[in-house]
C-alpha cells in the first residue's frame, strides 16, 4: 500500500510537540511492515533543513484568489528518516523558522494544503491512502473530494488522526475565496458553528477518523472544544489507536544524547550515573528522589498548577525531594516557575526552554516524571520515561489512563484522578514514600522497562484500518 502522511511537524525536521514524534516514526514502521509510506510537510527553515541535502521533486503553480503562487516540492536526498520526506516550499510564506505563531498562519496553511493536493493531482499514479494529521492538514479531504480541478483524486481514501482536538483552525468564510473552486452545495462540509472549521471538515470528509488513545476517543464525545456532537454523530467511523514510540531513538542502551548508557540489567547503576550528572548541574542532593516535568507550559498540561503544587509540596515534604522542570509556553507560567527558584534553591530548578538533549538526559536520570495533564490525547513522555526506568506520576486521562497502571493495582506508576493541587501534592507524597522502598522501586523499574510500547503493534493497526476502507 502507498500511504501519504501530511502534517505540519515531523521530527527531526521540525518539532513543537508529540505530533512530530508520531509523524517522524509511524511511516518508518509502516515501511518495515512492507508498505510504502511518505511524509509531506511545509518547508520550515530549521537546522535539519540546512544540515541535509535536498532534490527538487516538482515545481508547480496555483492560484489563490487572483494571485499566482509558485510552489516547489523538495525531497530529502539521503533517506535520513527511513522514509521519503517531502517539503513544500512557497517563497516568503512557508520558509520561516517557526512552525506556527505567525499572523498569517491561516493563509500559510491553506496554501500548504492546496500545494499538496495540487502536486498529488499531477502524479502519474494514485496513492492508496492520504493520512492527514490535525487541523493543519484538515482541509485536504475536502479539497480532494469537492474541488472541480481534483475530482480524479476523489476516490482516494482519506484518514484523519486527531492528535489534539483543542485546536481546530477556525477561520471566517472570506478565507474560502482562496480555496480552489469547489462545489458550493458542499459548503456545509467545511462548516461548524457558522465558521470554516478545518478539523470538523476533516471529521466529516475523511473515510476514517482516529485519535491517539481509546480513552481520549471516549472523552471527545463529551469534551471536544465544541465538536462533541460531531464526534457523537460520526462515531461509526471513529477509533482510538494508541501511539507507540520510536525504539531506534528512544533506547537507553544506545541513545547518543546520553552520557551513560544502560539497559534493564544495568538500570540501577546506569540511572544513578545519569542522575549524578543532573544533580551536579542543578545543585541537587543525589540521595533525594528527583521528580521531573517536561512539556509545553500550557493549561492542557496543567502546567499552571505546577508553581503552587511544587511550592506546597516543598512546604509539606521539605528536604525530601528535588524537582526539575523543562519546557516553555505561556509567559505567566514561565515567570511563576522561575520566580519560585530562589525560595527553593538547591531543591528546585526550572529550565524555561525547549531542549531535546536535556529531555533525554532527564528521562535517564530522574526517578519520577509528573504529568498532571487536564487533557492528554496520548502522551508520549510517560512512555519515554518508562522506557528509561522513570516512574510516571499521571492524572488518569486520555492516553495516560491507557498506558499507566497504578502500583496499588499491581502496576508501575502513580495515578490520580483530578488535575488539582491536592491530588498532585498527595501523589508527590506517594512518590517520596515509594522511593524509600528501593527493592519495590527497582522491581517496578524492571517491569516498566520491559513493556513493549514500540510502534510495531500500532503501525499494524493503522494498516488494518486502511484495508478496512480500501476498495
Ligand atoms: C499531541 C497530544 C499528545 C500526543 C501527541 C502525539 O501533542 O497532546 O497527547 O501524544 O499529540 O499524538
Instruction: Please write down the HEC assignment for all residues of 437-464.
Output: CHHHHHHHHHHHHCCCCEHHHHHHHHHH
CB 212 near ligand 1, within 6 Å: yes
Element (H, E) at 293: strand 290-294
Cα atoms found within 13 Å of the Cα of residue 194, Cβ hemisphere only: 0
SS3 category, 62: strand
Q: Which of 212, 225, 392, 402 to mutate to test the pocket of ligand 1 (most atoms within 8 A of CB)?
A: 212
Q: Are residues 31 and 163 in the same domain?
A: yes
pLDDT tens-digit series, residues 220-263? 999 999 999 999 999 999 999 999 999 999 999 999 999 999 99
Cell of 439: 527493592
Verify whether ligand 1 is closer than 6 Å to residue 163 (CB atom). yes
Q: How far is the CA of 380 from the centre of ligand 1 (A)?
A: 7
The verdict on 217 and 300 lying in the same domain is no
DSSP code of residue 356:
H
What strand order describes the sheet that includes 84-89? 54-64, 67-76, 84-89, 36-42, 2-6, 129-133, 157-162, 208-211, 238-240
- Would the CB of 244 count as within 6 Å of ligand 1? no
* Pairing assessment for the beta strands 368-371 and 2-6 based on DSSP bridges: unpaired
CB distance 242 to ligand 1 below 6 Å: no
The verdict on residue 255 lying in a domain is no
Q: What is the CATH number of the domain that holds 77?
A: 3.40.50.2000
Model pLDDT for residues 406-461, shown as the tens digit of each residue: 999 999 999 999 999 999 999 999 999 999 999 999 999 999 999 999 999 999 99
Order the strands of the 290-294 sheet from edge to edge. Answer: 348-351, 322-326, 290-294, 368-371, 391-395, 414-416
376 lies in the same domain as 398: yes
- Whole-number Å distance, alpha carbon 471 to ligand 1 midpoint, is 30
> What is the atom index within ligand 1 of the atom nearest the CA of 17?
7
Q: Cis before residue 12, ω within 30 degrees of 0?
A: yes
In a domain, 96, yes or no: yes
Maximum distance among all Cα pairs of the chain, rounded to whole angstroms: 70
Mean pLDDT calculated for residue range 28-36: 98
In a domain, 281, yes or no: yes
In a domain, 81, yes or no: yes
How remote is the CA of residue 97 from the centroid of ligand 1, in Å? Answer: 22
Phi then psi for 231, rounded to 5 degrees? -60, -40
For ligand 1, say whether the CB of 295 is within 6 Å of any of its atoms: no
Q: Count CB neighbours of 146 within 10 A.
A: 22
Q: How many A from CA of 378 to the centre of ligand 1?
A: 5
Whether residue 85 has its Cβ less than 6 Å from ligand 1: no
- Joined grid coordinates for residue 424: 498532585
Across all residues in the chain, what is the average pLDDT?
97
Q: Are 458 and 30 in contact (CB under 8 A)?
A: no
Residue 291 in contact with residue 401, Cβ under 8 Å?
A: no
Alpha carbon nearest to ligand 1 atom 5, residue: 18
Query: Residue 151 above 90 pLDDT?
Result: yes
β-pair type (67-76, 84-89)? antiparallel
d(CA 135, CA 169): 6
**What is the sign of the dihedral through the CA atoms of 176, 63, 126 and 5?**
negative
What does the pLDDT read at residue 470?
A: 84
Do residues 411 and 463 both lie within one domain?
A: no
Shortest-distance atom of ligand 1 to CA 380: 10
Q: Note the pLDDT of residue 382.
A: 98
Clarify whether residues 136 and 230 are in a common domain.
yes
- Joined together, the cell numbers standing for residue 415 give 495515578
Q: 104 and 239: one domain?
A: yes
Cβ atoms of residues 294 and 362 within 8 Å: yes
Cβ–Cβ under 8 Å, residues 69 and 62: yes
C-alpha of residue 167 to centroid of ligand 1, in Å? 12
Residue 186 and residue 50 share a domain: yes
Calculate how far, in angstroms, residue 124's C-alpha sits from the geometric centre of ligand 1: 35
- The rounded Å distance from CA 79 to ligand 1 centre is 25
Is the peptide bond between 11 and the residue preceding it cis, with omega within 30 degrees of 0? no
Q: Are residues 434 and 325 in the same domain?
A: yes
pLDDT (0 to 100) of residue 87: 98
pLDDT digits (tens, 9 = 90+) for 57-78: 999 999 999 999 999 999 999 9
Assess whether 112 and 229 both reside in one domain: yes
Q: Would the CB of 365 count as within 6 Å of ligand 1?
A: no
Residue closest via CA to ligand 1's atom 3 equals 379
How many domains does the chain contain in total? 2
Please give the Cα distance from 378 to 398 (Å, whole number). Answer: 6
Q: Is the CB of 219 under 6 A from ligand 1?
A: no
* Domain contains 261: no
Are residues 274 and 294 part of one domain? yes
For residues 310 and 355, state if they share a domain.
yes
Instruction: Measure 22 CA to ligand 1 centroid, in angstroms.
Output: 8
Q: Which residue CA neighbors atom 10 of ligand 1 most closely?
A: 379
- Give domain status of residue 73, yes or no: yes
Atom 7 in ligand 1: residue holding the nearest Cα = 18
C-alpha cell at 359: 529531555
Question: pLDDT for 349-365, tens place per residue?
Answer: 999 999 999 999 999 99
Asked if residue 336 belongs to a domain, the reply is yes
What pTM does this model have?
Answer: 0.95
Range of the domain at 294: 267-452
Band the pLDDT of 471: cuts 50, 70, 90: low
Surface-to-core class of residue 75, CB atoms within 10 Å of its CB (0-12 exposed, 13-18 middle, 19+ buried):
middle
- At residue 125, the pLDDT reads 95
The answer to whether the CB of 243 is under 6 A from ligand 1 is yes
Q: Which residues sit opposite 2 in a β-bridge? A: 36
Q: What is the SS3 string spanning 388-438?
A: CCCEEEEECCHHHHHHCCEHHHCCCEEEECCCCHHHHHHHHHHHHHHHHCH
Quick check: 36 pLDDT over 80?
A: yes
Contact present, 303 and 329 (Cβ < 8 Å): yes
- 460 in Cβ contact with 30 (< 8 Å): no
What pLDDT sits at residue 229?
98
Pair 373, 463 in one domain? no
Backbone phi and psi for residue 201, each to the nearest 5 degrees, phi listed first: -60, -45
> Is 257 inside any structural domain?
no
Amino acid at each position: 500500500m502507498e500511504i501519504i502522511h501530511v502534517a505540519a511537524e515531523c521530527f527531526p525536521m521540525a518539532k513543537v510537540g508529540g505530533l512530530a514524534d508520531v509523524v517522524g516514526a509511524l511511516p518508518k514502521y509502516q515501511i518495515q511492515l512492507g508498505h510504502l509510506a511518505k511524509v509531506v510537510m511545509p518547508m520550515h527553515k530549521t537546522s535539519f533543513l540546512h544540515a541535509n541535502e535536498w532534490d527538487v521533486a516538482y515545481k508547480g503553480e496555483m492560484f489563490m484568489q487572483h494571485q499566482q503562487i509558485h510552489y516547489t516540492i523538495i525531497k530529502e536526498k539521503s533517506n535520513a528518516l527511513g522514509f521519503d520526506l517531502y517539503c513544500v516550499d512557497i517563497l516568503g510564506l512557508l520558509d520561516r523558522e517557526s512552525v506556527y505563531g505567525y499572523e498569517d498562519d491561516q493563509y500559510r496553511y491553506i496554501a500548504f494544503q492546496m500545494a499538496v493536493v495540487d502536486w498529488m493531482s499531477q502524479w502519474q499514479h494514485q496513492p492508496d491512502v492520504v493520512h492527514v494529521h490535525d487541523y493543519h492538514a484538515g482541509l485536504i479531504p475536502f479539497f480532494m473530494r469537492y474541488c472541480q480541478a481534483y475530482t480524479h483524486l476523489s476516490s482516494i481514501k482519506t484518514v484523519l488522526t486527531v492528535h489534539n482536538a483543542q485546536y481546530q483552525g477556525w477561520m471566517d468564510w472570506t478565507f474560502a475565496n482562496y480555496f480552489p473552486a469547489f462545489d458550493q452545495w458542499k459548503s456545509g462540509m467545511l462548516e461548524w458553528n457558522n465558521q470554516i472549521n478545518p478539523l470538523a471538515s476533516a471529521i466529516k470528509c475523511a473515510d476514517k477518523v482516529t485519535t491517539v488513545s481509546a480513552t481520549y476517543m471516549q472523552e471527545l464525545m463529551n469534551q471536544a472544544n465544541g465538536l462533541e456532537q460531531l464526534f457523537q454523530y460520526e462515531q461509526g467511523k471513529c477509533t482510538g489507536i494508541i501511539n507507540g514510540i520510536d525504539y531506534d531513538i528512544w533506547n537507553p542502551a544506545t541513545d547518543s544524547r546520553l552520557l551513560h548508557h544502560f539497559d534493564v540489567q544495568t538500570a540501577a547503576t546506569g540511572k544513578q550515573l545519569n542522575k549524578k550528572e543532573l544533580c551536579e548541574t542543578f545543585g541537587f542532593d543525589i540521595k533525594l528522589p528527583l521528580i521531573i516535568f517536561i512539556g509545553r507550559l500550557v493549561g492542557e498540561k496543567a502546567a499552571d498548577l505546577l508553581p503552587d503544587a511544587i511550592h506546597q509540596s516543598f512546604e509539606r515534604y521539605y528536604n525530601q525531594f528535588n524537582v526539575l522542570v523543562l519546557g516553555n509556553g505561556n509567559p505567566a507560567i514561565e515567570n511563576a516557575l522561575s520566580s519560585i527558584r530562589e525560595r527553593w534553591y538547591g531543591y528546585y530548578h526550572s529550565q524555561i526552554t525547549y531542549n531535546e538533549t536535556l529531555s533525554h538526559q532527564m528521562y535517564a536520570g530522574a526517578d519520577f516524571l509528573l504529568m498532571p495533564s487536564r487533557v492528554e490525547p496520548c502522551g508520549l513522555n510517560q512512555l519515554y520515561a518508562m522506557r528509561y526506568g522513570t516512574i510516571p506520576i499521571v492524572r488518569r486521562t486520555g492516553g495516560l489512563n491507557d498506558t499507566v497502571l497504578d502500583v496499588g493495582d499491581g502496576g508501575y506508576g502513580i495515578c490520580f484522578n483530578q488535575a488539582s493541587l491536592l491530588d498532585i501534592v498527595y501523589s508527590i507524597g506517594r512518590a517520596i514514600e515509594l522511593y524509600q522502598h528501593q527493592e519495590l522501586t527497582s522491581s517496578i523499574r524492571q517491569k516498566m522497562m520491559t513493556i513493549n510500547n514500540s510502534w510495531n503493534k500500532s503501525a499494524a493497526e493503522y494498516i488494518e484500518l486502511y484495508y478496512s476502507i480500501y476498495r
